[in-house]
């Protein structure tokens, strides 16, 4: 049986830890630790890596540029850096997708971010589409529309760099239930706002990851495969 679908590619996300004499450490502690990490990831069959984009400052300090770091990654047997997760501190007075007054700050932030990563070609920049939102009701409908609007603008910007803007729904964030997810994507421009499925986050939020994928599969640019622990 033949298929036109491309082969699956596996990238390892930046969650590695090891136990040292002084306690746990991660791969960013030194170039030697990074070399061991990358070689382990390659040895068990991953093709590439993902990282958090707040690592950019450690990359500049330790490797001089993003391109230099990717070359180091490739020397250890991996293809490249595929995605970055845009981890920022969400706060309603400064940075919150559901609050229109913060949208100018969000756009400025992404312009700087994309410029800093422009030394390599990423596939996706992954975002939380809604703020941390502990009210059980989650983001109200007008907030979903505001979030869809700003991510459409950000996605139009990222595509100028050949990068998808793709949304990852944390179980503790304001766009987490199946109804909220469906309404958010009904408001968001499919050309610019994509979907990154996280199996653990959806299960914790009582959302079936297979079902939500089948509903929105045309937007899906990747998966985080994790258990709920």
SS (H, E, C) the chain: CCCCCCCCCCEECCCCCEEECCEEECHHHCHHHHHHHHHHHHHCCCCEEEEEHHHHHHHHHHHCCHHHHHHHHHHCCCCCEEEEECCCCCECCCECCCCHHHHHHHHHHHHHHHHHCCCCCCCEEEECCCCECCCCCCCCHHHHHHHHHHHHHHHHHHHCCCCEEEECCCCCECCCCHHHHHHHHHHCCCCCCEEEEEHHHHHHCCCCHHHHHHHHHHHEEEEECCCCC
Chain segment 35-62, per-residue pLDDT in tens: 999 999 999 999 999 999 999 999 999 9
Class of domain 11-224: alpha beta
Chain segment 112-171, per-residue pLDDT in tens: 999 999 999 999 999 999 988 777 777 889 999 999 999 999 999 999 999 999 999 999
Residue 18 clears pLDDT 90, i.e. is over it: no
Q: What is the pTM of this model?
A: 0.92
Chain segment 74-129, per-residue pLDDT in tens: 999 999 999 999 988 888 889 999 999 999 999 999 999 999 999 999 999 999 99
| Domain locations in the chain as residue ranges | 11-224
């Amino acid at each position: 049986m033949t298929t036109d679908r491309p082969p699956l590619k596996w990238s390892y996300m930046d969650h590695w830890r090891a136990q040292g004499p002084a306690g746990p450490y991660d791969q960013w502690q030194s170039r030697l630790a990074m070399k061991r990490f990358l070689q382990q990831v390659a040895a068990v069959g991953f093709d590439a890596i993902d990282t958090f984009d707040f690592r950019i400052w450690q990359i500049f300090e330790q490797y001089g540029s993003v391109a230099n770091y990717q070359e180091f990654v490739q020397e250890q047997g991996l293809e490249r850096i595929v995605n970055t997760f845009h981890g920022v501190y969400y706060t309603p007075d400064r940075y919150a997708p559901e609050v229109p007054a913060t949208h100018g700050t969000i756009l400025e932030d992404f312009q700087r971010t994309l410029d800093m990563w422009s030394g390599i070609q990423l596939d996706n920049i992954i975002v939380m589409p809604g703020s941390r939102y502990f009210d059980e009701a989650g983001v109200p409908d007008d907030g979903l529309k505001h979030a869809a609007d700003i991510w459409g603008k950000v996605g139009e910007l990222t595509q100028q760099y050949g990068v998808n803007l793709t949304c990852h729904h944390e179980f503790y964030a304001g766009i987490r239930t199946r109804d909220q997810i469906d309404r958010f994507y009904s408001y968001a421009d499919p050309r610019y706002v994509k979907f990154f499925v996280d199996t653990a986050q959806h299960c914790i939020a009582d959302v079936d990851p297979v079902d939500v994928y089948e509903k929105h599969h045309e937007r899906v640019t990747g998966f985080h495969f994790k258990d709920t622990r």
